[in-house]
């Protein structure tokens, strides 16, 4: 395959086509070795039952397993072997895998699933607290059967789609009776996965070693060790890749210029395969508690002031498309592009600000905003700077607030200490899994990646709830089309730019990016070829 094919595949991925990995001759997996992974930032909490985030899954997914994962052939059982639903959608049964043990040697049973579902998934896990709001109980007729009982219908397809991200059981015997949020195991997770947690040095690395008692048997995993290195300097990360000190940088962890450059280096494979379940939107987020931003005309003015097409070319090198609402073009039947579009029109933006009573002062400033950019990557930082510059052109002065990951999560989602913000919203298979929690009111204060924006629309809430309970796929899709149209009219959050992610991977790695959420998966079959 000619160099550049993989990167050009990213553009195809934007259009809905998978980027193809090079075909490799059949090889015998090599056992042993250490894979070193680049991480741009750390989140400190590594418990996926409390924090739904790719930053968490990238590490914990190798240590803590979900009930179900996703392959290119569809859902596959991990800690669950099969599942079924009653006709009315009020009971969903998971048959659990037998012979699985937690890393401390205790058996995995239904008690762990029931405890985690009721205490964490339902009450504390972002995304999941909305998804599981009608979960009444989890019954355990025996140690390896879990029956989820709902007061309102739960579509089986929805729950199965949610499980790869929102279905990680935790060990009841290590959490029950503790302060869940402060349990030390949140930063030193004990799971059932192919790798066991070893060490977390803040700001430096996380280490996990091979689980010798893994339920898949002695053949897995192939690797001896995984090390995740935190390297915030993207140039330093690119240099570490070239020096062979790290083997992979994902989620656009290095600059676009370095991505393009390394795509021409035979030592690397560059592409967007393995991210199909992580298509993202670059967002504009508003604190509706600010009276100016509570005015729809001001939010409309902000969107008219930003040249989305130019941002895609200058920031993202063309590897993106304009967003059409909270569901991306990869959302299948639930997506519609029949929504309102806001053209780049600074004059219209100024007119709307005038209508809202925001007249310029002696310095030409109509409104002052404090803006937080999520530290999730180069695109996010540059997108925040682009917003600030664009808004300055229409008289909105923006103060950019620098923050690391914990400061961003605290400032936006707990303390609400912001006027505007931007980050990534990642779509995860179904609108009810991830998207609607950004729009529905009622999420507990401090829940990351939820509606902490002060936005309340009872009609929107009712539509979200009805769609999440609708068992007819066609009717459900129609509800999500209406939700997209409403979101584009109301602009509670702007899902501005739709884009895939890109990895730079050493050609020594085998079986990489072979599932739609590969960076979040277990890597039990990943192996490292000889140098």
DSSP-assigned letter for residue 18:
P
Q: 311 pLDDT exceeds 60?
A: yes
- Does residue 136 lie in a domain region? yes
Asked if residue 372 and residue 292 are part of one domain, the reply reads yes
- Does residue 254 lie in a domain region? yes
> What's the rounded Cα separation, in Å, for the pair 59 and 521?
9
Domain of residue 351: give its range.
Answer: 280-499
pLDDT value, residue 239: 98
Q: Is the distance from CB of 280 to CB of 427 less than 8 angstroms? A: yes
Asked if residue 140 and residue 41 are part of one domain, the reply reads no
Task: Say which residue, 521 or 450, is predicted with more confidence.
Answer: 521
Which residues contact residue 480 at a Cβ distance below 8 angstroms, ignoring those fewer than 6 apart? 327, 331, 334, 335, 336, 431, 467
Per-residue pLDDT band at 130 (split at 50, 70, 90): confident
DSSP-assigned letter for residue 117:
I
Asked if residue 487 and residue 360 are part of one domain, the reply reads yes
pLDDT value, residue 503: 95
Asked if residue 204 and residue 339 are part of one domain, the reply reads no
Q: What is the CATH number of the domain that holds 218?
A: 3.40.190.10
C-alpha closest to that of 194 among 43, 31, 75, 27: 31
Q: What is the CATH number of the domain that holds 403?
A: 3.10.105.10
Collapsing DSSP to helix, strand or coil, 481 comes out as helix
Asked if residue 488 and residue 390 are part of one domain, the reply reads yes
| Overall residue count recorded for the chain in this entry | 531
Q: 195 pLDDT exceeds 50?
A: yes
Q: Is the pTM of this model over 0.95?
A: no
Q: Report the run of H or E that residue 409 belongs to, with start and end.
A: helix 405-409
- Does residue 95 lie in a domain region? yes
- Does residue 218 lie in a domain region? yes
Asked if residue 347 and residue 317 are part of one domain, the reply reads yes
> In the numeric block, which tokens belong to residue 430?
């179904």
Asked if residue 366 and residue 416 are part of one domain, the reply reads yes
Across 224-249, b (16+ Cβ under 10 Å) vs e yields eebbbbbbeebeebbebbbeeebbbb
| 142-168 per-position pLDDT tens digit | 999 999 999 999 999 899 999 999 999
- Does residue 22 lie in a domain region? no
- Does residue 213 lie in a domain region? yes
Q: 274 pLDDT exceeds 50?
A: yes
Asked if residue 299 and residue 265 are part of one domain, the reply reads no
- Does residue 436 lie in a domain region? yes
DSSP-assigned letter for residue 307:
-
pLDDT value, residue 1: 30
| 3-14 per-position pLDDT tens digit | 333 343 343 333
DSSP-assigned letter for residue 25:
-
Q: 447 pLDDT exceeds 60?
A: yes
Q: Is the distance from CB of 247 to CB of 289 less than 8 angstroms? A: no
DSSP-assigned letter for residue 119:
I
Asked if residue 431 and residue 401 are part of one domain, the reply reads yes
In this prediction, residues 223-230 reach a mean pLDDT of 98
Asked if residue 477 and residue 364 are part of one domain, the reply reads yes
Across 290-438, the runs of DSSP E, i.e. the strands, are 321-322, 367-373, 396-401, 420-422, 424-426
> What's the rounded Cα separation, in Å, for the pair 68 and 161?
9
In this prediction, residues 490-506 reach a mean pLDDT of 94
C-alpha closest to that of 437 among 151, 154, 128: 128
Across 135-157, b (16+ Cβ under 10 Å) vs e yields beebebeeebebbbbbeebbbee
In this prediction, residues 45-69 reach a mean pLDDT of 95
Asked if residue 75 and residue 49 are part of one domain, the reply reads no
**Dihedrals phi, psi of 474, to nearest 5 degrees:** -70, -45
- Does residue 17 lie in a domain region? no
Please count the other Cβ atoms lying within 10 Å of the Cβ belonging to residue 454. Answer: 15
Q: Which residues pair with 425 in a beta bridge?
A: 281
| 103-129 per-position pLDDT tens digit | 999 999 999 999 999 999 999 997 788
Which residues contact residue 204 at a Cβ distance below 8 angstroms, ignoring those fewer than 6 apart? 229, 230
| 327-366 per-position pLDDT tens digit | 998 888 999 999 999 999 999 999 999 999 999 999 999 9
Q: How many domains does the chain have?
A: 3
Asked if residue 446 and residue 333 are part of one domain, the reply reads yes
Q: What is the CATH number of the domain that holds 109?
A: 3.90.76.10
């Amino acid at each position: 395959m000619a160099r550049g094919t993989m990167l050009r595949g990213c553009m195809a991925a934007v259009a809905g086509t998978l980027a193809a990995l090079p075909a490799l001759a059949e090889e015998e997996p090599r056992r042993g070795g250490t894979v070193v992974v680049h991480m741009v930032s750390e989140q400190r909490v590594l418990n996926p039952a409390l924090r739904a985030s790719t930053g968490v899954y990238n590490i914990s997914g190798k240590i803590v397993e979900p009930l179900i994962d996703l392959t290119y052939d569809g859902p596959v059982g991990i800690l669950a072997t099969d599942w079924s639903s009653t006709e009315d959608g009020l009971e969903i049964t998971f048959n659990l895998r037998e012979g699985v043990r937690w890393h401390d040697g205790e058996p995995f049973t239904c008690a762990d699933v029931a405890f985690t579902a009721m205490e964490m998934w339902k009450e504390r896990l972002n995304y999941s607290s909305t998804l599981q709001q009608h979960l009444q109980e989890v019954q355990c007729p025996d140690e390896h059967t879990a029956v989820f009982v709902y007061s309102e219908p739960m579509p089986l397809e929805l729950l199965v789609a949610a499980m790869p991200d929102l279905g990680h059981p935790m060990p009841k015997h290590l959490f029950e009776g503790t302060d869940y949020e402060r349990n030390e195991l949140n930063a030193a997770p004990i799971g059932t996965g192919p790798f066991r947690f070893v060490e977390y040095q803040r700001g430096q690395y996380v280490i996990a070693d091979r689980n010798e008692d893994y339920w898949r048997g002695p053949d897995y995993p192939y690797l001896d060790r995984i090390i995740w290195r935190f390297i915030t300097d993207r140039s330093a990360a690119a240099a570490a890749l070239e020096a062979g000190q790290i083997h992979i940088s994902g989620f656009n962890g290095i600059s676009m210029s370095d991505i393009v450059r390394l795509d021409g280096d035979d030592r690397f494979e560059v592409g967007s395969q393995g991210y199909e379940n992580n298509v993202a939107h670059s967002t504009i987020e508003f604190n509706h508690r600010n009276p100016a931003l509570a005015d729809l005309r001001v939010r409309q003015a902000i969107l008219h002031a930003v040249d989305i097409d130019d941002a895609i070319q200058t920031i993202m090198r063309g590897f993106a498309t304009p967003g059409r609402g909270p569901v991306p073009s990869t959302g299948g039947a639930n997506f519609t592009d029949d929504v309102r579009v806001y053209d780049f029109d600074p004059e219209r933006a100024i007119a709307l600000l005038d209508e809202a009573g925001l007249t310029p002062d002696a310095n030409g400033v109509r409104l002052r905003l404090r803006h937080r950019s999520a530290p999730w990557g180069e695109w996010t930082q540059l997108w925040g700077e682009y917003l600030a510059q664009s808004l300055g052109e229409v008289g909105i002065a923006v103060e950019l607030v620098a923050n690391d990951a914990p400061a961003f999560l605290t400032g936006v989602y707990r303390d609400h200490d912001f006027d505007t913000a931007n980050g990534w919203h990642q779509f995860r298979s179904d609108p009810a899994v991830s998207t609607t929690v950004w729009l529905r009111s009622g999420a507990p204060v401090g829940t990351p990646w939820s509606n902490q924006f002060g936005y309340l629309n009872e009609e929107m809430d009712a539509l979200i709830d009805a769609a999440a309970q609708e068992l007819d796929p066609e009717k459900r899709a129609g509800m999500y089309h209406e939700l997209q149209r409403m979101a584009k009219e109301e602009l509670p959050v702007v899902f501005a730019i739709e884009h895939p992610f890109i990895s730079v991977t050493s050609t020594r790695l085998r079986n990489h990016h072979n599932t739609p959420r590969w960076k979040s998966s277990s890597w039990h079959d990943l192996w490292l070829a000889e140098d």
